[in-house]
Amino acid sequence: MSYIICENHGGNIGSLVSPEVLQWVIKLKPFQDKVRMIFIQDNNDNRYCYYVDEEFYNEFSNKAEVDLTIPLRLDDDIAFELSLELVPVCPKCLHEWLEN
């Protein structure tokens, strides 16, 4: 978990995305059809979503030998490994970008 200070939205808990998605959000590139979602599920069955580019999705899936169409368990080592490869972004900027 990280805290982001955004020029537009102030301080927020950061959302995690792939480095490429971060660049798309920063540059306000139009919504890419190559964005994929990876879901994490906690012990209370709450789901969290990470937005990643298609290349990241495929590479991580192959490297970790995991089916990312099924939610990862929060307490799984794979979920931790995934979080280490993601970068924080302002959640409000991400939401605005996803809406466009």
Tens of pLDDT along 2-13? 899 999 999 999
Helices 77-85 and 54-64, interaxial angle, to 10°?
140
Domain ranges of the chain: 3-99
DSSP-assigned beta bridge partners for residue 44: none
Residue 10, phi-psi category: left (phi > 0), alpha (psi -120 to 50), beta (remainder): left
Entry pTM:
0.90
Per-residue pLDDT of 1-40, as tens digits, reads 789 999 999 999 999 999 999 999 999 888 767 899 999 9
